[in-house]
Amino acid sequence: MLPLFQTFQPHPEICCSRQQYDADLSVFKHSLGIPEEAFHVENHPDFKWKAYYRFDYPEIFRHIAKHPKEARGILQSLCMKDRFFLAYFVAGWESGSVTGNKPYIVNLCRELEDGEQTGTIDVHAREHGKSACITIAGTLERILNNPECTTAIFSFRKSSAEKFLESVKHMLESDFMKWLFPSICYENTNQTQWSVQNGIRVKRKNQAMKEHTVEAFGLMEGMPTGGHYDHRIYDDIETEDMSSSPDQMELCFRKLMMSRYLGRDGGTEQIIGTYYSHCGTIVKLRDLKDVNGDPLYNLRLKPGTDDGTIAGKPVFFSQGYLDSKKIDLPSFNTQILCNPTPTSEIKLKFERFVAVPRRSLPKGRIKLMIVDPAGDKSVQSGVGNDKWAHGCISVDPYFDDMGLSDIFIEDIIFGEMSIDEAQDAAVTMYIRNGRITMLGIERVSTDSAWKHIKNALEATKRYLELHTKGKFGGNMMLLSPAGRSKNYKIEANLSWPLNNGKIHYVDDLPDDAIAGIKSECDKFPFFHVDILDMLSYVYDILADPTLPFYFGPEDEEDEDARDELGDYGGRCATTGY
């Protein structure tokens, strides 16, 4: 008999049966005089029950004490039907300050048992029992109900997956489980069928099946070359180190997609983890669609606070422990709030972009065009696709009293393109937007995208001359991050003008372009920022004092002069400069 059976005390906020929960809830509803459809127990803190156990454990344990011969059958049934019983009583998740006997865990276990069993992505706050209840207790429950099933556990590294397997292995090795399930558990095991490295194999009818009962693999290392498993679990497939490496995240995603071929028709899969960025593997999986356009996976999101904000009440932790996590907000956002960029943390608010009709654009504006090439070397060399961003941005060439000019996003092309597609897009944009005063192209290291675009434009009789910083002349500028990180450059260049209403976009931009800008703003700095990066280069161009156009203060005399200059805004009507 497990020691917990003698010492177990129900949690004061958890009742021992559904009948008691429903009965007391009904009385409480009636006493408040609230209509049935309008009542939500979470809105009434005076109501003490926050959960109910699937079974009345104290009554069951008293019955077993009186009728010990019935113990095995009763306990077998509990192990096979009650995920919380396995996680708390069998796995013993009750030591330390974070105990599993809490309403959150009881409700979680019931939701997992009663909810969908495949095609799920469980993104829960760190240390909130997702691995204990899904990967470990769930795997054990599956084995006890069907010893013939096979399970593959995948993590980023094989060693991480082996830790989950080791927990399942130790539970099946316990004297309690050997006594309770002698038809499944071995008294003695050998290394070929019972090891963390090679997998574990319980007693089963089909001993010829090459797949063990549970095996552990790594997505990035230790992937199997064969085998087909009834159930696949993906837990800890992302790490913090990966979040700063797009290549690693893309490789992990591709490896996971390949691992789906290790399943079988009618098999199941579950994905478990925590977000680290808006472009991580779990996000990509969350956004996948099936052939009918429906989500491929069902997302179950459980942040660590009741409203998903930093000010919310903890759903599992104590308030003091939750507060101790808040000293590092970026980590708190991803690990506890399950959101790399909560609303309170958004630095570039899309709502501060000003939409204007195209007919309202200033007549004397100056047009700039920016090309932000893909950073991937394979794309720069003409192989493969990656994200590019082209933009035609016009400038009203007059400073206000803050030294700012209004800029207008008139045209955007962005997305994954090969270098040939990007070159064609740049030429198309340059031609269709009339006179472009300055073409800026990012050049990093030795990439030659600018040469391809220059040559393509010259083939259409549009001739470009390199502008040298500090010297007058030229209509093409090579841009560079100049040692700045992309996120720093974006925030430094865009925050002030954006917050002061100086950045506009024409309201007839394609919907996907507007949605792209909004998405990048909402998720900055934890997401691809191709459009914002392109836009920020406008201010690098405007910072050059030798530009071939005039910027000056706007007063009454300047307005008169501007009218005289007409549409050219200080430029020569012949040359455009």
Highest mean pLDDT (candidates 292-296, 347-351, 487-491): 292-296
Q: Are 522 and 346 in contact (CB under 8 A)?
A: yes
Q: Is 401 helix (H, G, I), strand (E, B) or coil?
A: coil
Range scoring the smallest mean pLDDT among 269-283, 300-314, 508-522, 540-554: 540-554
Tokens 């599956």 identify what position?
Answer: 142
Among 153-162, 358-367, 396-405, which is the least confidently predicted range?
Answer: 396-405
What is the DSSP secondary structure assignment for residue 292, as one 8-state letter?
T
pLDDT at 39 over 60: no
When pLDDT is averaged across residues 118-132 and rounded to a whole number, the result is 94
pLDDT score of 32 = 59
Helix (H), strand (E) at residue 412: strand 407-417
Beta bridge mates, 354: 504
**With 80 as the cut, is the pLDDT of residue 490 above it?**
yes
Query: Is the pTM above the cut of 0.85?
Result: no
d(CA 498, CA 500): 5
For residue 114, pLDDT over 80 is answered with: yes
Long-range contacts of 420-425 (CB under 8 A, 24+ apart): 420/382, 421/385, 422/371, 422/373, 422/374, 422/388, 422/390, 422/449, 423/449, 423/452, 423/453, 423/456, 424/456, 425/388, 425/390
Question: What pLDDT score was predicted for residue 239?
Answer: 84
With a cut of 70, say whether residue 53 has pLDDT above it.
Answer: yes
Q: Please report which confidence band the pLDDT of residue 2 belongs to, taking 50, 70 and 90 as the band edges.
A: low
Q: Could you tell me the pLDDT band of residue 558, with boundaries at 50, 70 and 90? A: very low
Question: Given a cut of 60, is residue 357 above it in pLDDT?
Answer: yes
pLDDT at 274 over 50: yes
> Taking 60 as the threshold, does the pLDDT of residue 551 lie above it?
no
254, 259, 193: which is closest to 227 by C-alpha?
Answer: 259
Residue 565 has pLDDT above 60, yes or no: no
Q: At what angle do helices 137-145 and 71-81 cross, to 10 degrees?
A: 120
Strands (E), 7-54: 14-15, 51-52
Percent of the chain, pLDDT > 90?
48
Average pLDDT score over residue span 17-43? 68
Question: What pLDDT score was predicted for residue 389?
Answer: 93
Instruction: Inform me whether the pLDDT recorded for 193 exceeds 90.
Output: no
Tell me what the mean pLDDT of segment 118-129 comes to: 94
Model confidence at 37: pLDDT above 60: no
| Least confident span in 80-84, 173-177, 221-225, 421-425 | 221-225
pLDDT in tens, 445-456: 667 788 888 888
Which strand (E) or helix (H) includes residue 440? strand 438-442
Q: List all residues 6 or more positions away from 323 whose beta carbon is below 8 Å from its beta carbon.
A: none
Cβ–Cβ < 8 Å for 407, 422: no
Span 36-45, mean pLDDT? Answer: 57
* Residue environment code for 216-253, b if the CB has 16+ CB neighbours within 10 A, otherwise e: bbbbbebeeeebbbbbbbbbbbbbeebbeebebbeebb
Cα–Cα distance for residue pair 447/540, rounded to 1 Å: 20
Give the per-residue pLDDT at 138: 95
pLDDT at 382: 42
What's the CA angle centered on 184, arms 182 and 189, to 5 degrees?
90
In this prediction, what percent of the chain has a pLDDT beyond 70?
83
Is the pLDDT score of 571 beyond 50? Answer: no
What does the block give as tokens for 206? 């089909």
Q: Give tens-digit pLDDT for 286-344.
A: 889 999 989 999 999 999 999 888 889 999 999 999 999 988 887 888 899 988 765 55
Which is nearest to 479 in space by CA: 356, 577, 340, 369?
Answer: 369
439 and 430 in contact (C-beta within 8 Å)? yes
The more confident residue out of 276 and 196 is 196
Q: Which of 112-121, 416-425, 509-518, 565-574 has the lowest mean pLDDT?
A: 565-574
Q: Is the pLDDT of residue 383 over 50?
A: no
- Distance between CA 128 and CA 87 in Å, rounded? 13
456-476 residue pLDDT tens? 899 988 888 888 777 788 889
The residue-averaged pLDDT of 477-504 equals: 86
**Strand ranges (E), 176-327:** 194-195, 199-200, 214-218, 231-235, 268-273, 298-302
Distance of CA 341 to the CA centre of its chain: 10
More confident residue, 574 or 477: 477
Q: What's the mean pLDDT in 401-427?
A: 87
489: its two tokens: 């450059």
Q: Name the residue among 545, 576, 544, 531 with its Cα closest to residue 370.
A: 531
